[in-house]
Amino acid sequence: MSSYNKNVVQKQLLYDTIVLLTIENILSGDIMSINKKEFNLEQVVKLCVVVNISLFLFVAFMLILFVYFNITPMIYYSVIAMIGYVLYFMLLKRQKVCAYMWCVYATIIIYMAIATICLGYKCGFHLYSMSLIPIIFYSQYISTKIDTKDPNPLAVSIAIVAVSIISSAIAIINGPLYEINKTIISVMLACNAISVSAFLIYYTKVIVNLVIESEKKLNSIANIDLLTDLYSRRYMINYLEEYDADDEGWLAMADVDDFKKINDTYGHNCGDYVLNFIAQKMKNICSNCVISRWGGEEFLIHNGTHDSTHEVLEKLRREIENSECIYKQQKINISLTIGVAQRNADGDIEEWIKRADDRLYYGKNNGKNMVVD
């Protein structure tokens, strides 16, 4: 392997490692500053308000049935639960989302257990456990965003399932404490099944949308350079590999002249400013090109035609040379050296990039601030 190819592989491995670590940190919640900015707590609170209203109305509806059949334990607990749901609005007003969820878990679990023991498992109250388990895992996600204690969803899920099984077993072994006709049993089962199913459908939709949005953000991190908003090295490599080898086109490798001197003289913040300044010029002048930040102060530019190759790049070079790049009231003199290569018939990507790179360094060694094609 040539020294150039080794350098390309090493840079790509380093870049891939950085991207993978970034993705891992985002998924684990370690990059809290980014996550907190993107996480919309108010939107979650609004969703919880809707859920709380729905739970209150559902319990109120079931209370009517319990009163009609004089099921005393469920009457008392339904009233307590309704009072609880009213008080829970105070938690949501203070944006205590995790505390709200814990209160809802406890309320629903107790409701599920008492209703199953009183009316039997055929009424379907044990189905509530199916809706509680996904919520507890989602609350773990929320806890990473607002710096609260991990809810330990696995342990809580096991406890929820245990309560569901034990209450159902008691109802099966001892029989329900209250006998109601089969029609009402069917109505309650239908209400519970529809409620749980509707929630699971909606919850699944929310989670899928969350995954899609997260994937878009990860793709953006992998494909877009955060400093310059140009395409990343990874994106450009994939783009060139998929590019039709039979199509005409050229590659230009551009490098900022004496960039180390700029960093040493004015500081790295100034260096970042210069890179972003040049990137915006490239976007404006090479508007029909695909442009990436190749690494450090290097940029790789691709165009799919032979038309006006030298003219476009010479215009870019002159524009950069004559630009007023002002950083903290100081004019920064900047220039570009650009190496250009047309695509060969064999279509080898590495060889194509290497030819552009070789011409770049020829220009670097022969005066800089030029286009070499």
Using alpha carbons, list the distances in angstroms from residue 369 to 216, 259, 287, 321, 336: 38, 12, 21, 8, 5
Supply the pLDDT for residue 307: 65
Supply the pLDDT for residue 17: 47
Supply the pLDDT for residue 7: 47
Domain count, the chain: 3
Question: Could you tell me if 21 and 125 lie in one domain?
Answer: no
Question: Could you tell me if 38 and 21 lie in one domain?
Answer: no
**109 with 125: CB under 8 angstroms?**
no
Given 176, 205, 223, the domain boundary residue is 223
User: Residue 367 belongs to a domain with what CATH number?
Assistant: 3.30.70.270
Supply the pLDDT for residue 195: 87
The secondary element (H helix, E strand) that includes residue 326 is: strand 326-327
Residue 353 — pLDDT band, cuts 50, 70, 90?
Answer: very high
Supply the pLDDT for residue 216: 83
Cβ atoms < 10 Å from Cβ of 102: 16
Supply the pLDDT for residue 145: 72
**121 with 171: CB under 8 angstroms?**
yes
Residue 172 — pLDDT band, cuts 50, 70, 90?
Answer: very high
In a domain, 294, yes or no: yes
| CB-count burial class (<10 Å; 0-12, 13-18, 19+) for 353 | buried
Question: Could you tell me if 240 and 160 lie in one domain?
Answer: no
**109 with 163: CB under 8 angstroms?**
yes
In a domain, 228, yes or no: no
Question: Could you tell me if 23 and 45 lie in one domain?
Answer: no
Question: Could you tell me if 161 and 261 lie in one domain?
Answer: no
Per-residue model confidence as pLDDT tens digits over 191-207 = 899 988 988 898 888 88
Question: Could you tell me if 10 and 132 lie in one domain?
Answer: no
Question: Could you tell me if 211 and 290 lie in one domain?
Answer: no
Supply the pLDDT for residue 261: 94
Task: Kindly state the average pLDDT of the residues 8-34.
Answer: 44
Map tokens 């070499």 to a residue.
372
Task: Kindly state the average pLDDT of the residues 302-331.
Answer: 88
Per-residue model confidence as pLDDT tens digits over 104-143 = 989 999 999 999 999 998 999 999 888 888 888 877 777 7
Task: Kindly state the average pLDDT of the residues 64-85.
Answer: 93
The first and second tokens of residue 317, run together, are 């070079």
Task: Kindly state the average pLDDT of the residues 14-28.
Answer: 45
Question: Could you tell me if 207 and 246 lie in one domain?
Answer: no
Question: Could you tell me if 116 and 174 lie in one domain?
Answer: yes
Residue 343 has pLDDT above 90, yes or no: no
Supply the pLDDT for residue 83: 96
Residue 8 has pLDDT above 60, yes or no: no
In a domain, 35, yes or no: yes
Given 168, 188, 223, the domain boundary residue is 223
Question: Could you tell me if 240 and 211 lie in one domain?
Answer: no
Mean pLDDT of the chain: 84
Residue 168 has pLDDT above 90, yes or no: yes
**Three-state SS across 174-211?**
HCCCCCCCHHHHHHHHHHHHHHHHHHHHHHHHHHHHHH
Quote the domain boundaries for residue 118. Answer: 31-223
Instruction: Tell me which of 269 and 215 has the higher pLDDT.
Output: 269
Of the candidates 212, 249, 245, 244, the one whose C-alpha atom is nearest the C-alpha of residue 340 is 249
As a whole number of angstroms, the longest Cα–Cα distance in the chain is 97
In a domain, 361, yes or no: yes
In a domain, 351, yes or no: yes
Supply the pLDDT for residue 211: 82
Integer-rounded Cα radius of gyration of the chain = 32
In a domain, 279, yes or no: yes
Question: Could you tell me if 188 and 109 lie in one domain?
Answer: yes
Residue 14 has pLDDT above 60, yes or no: no
Instruction: Tell me which of 117 and 31 has the higher pLDDT.
Output: 117
Question: Could you tell me if 104 and 88 lie in one domain?
Answer: yes
Given 223, 247, 273, the domain boundary residue is 223
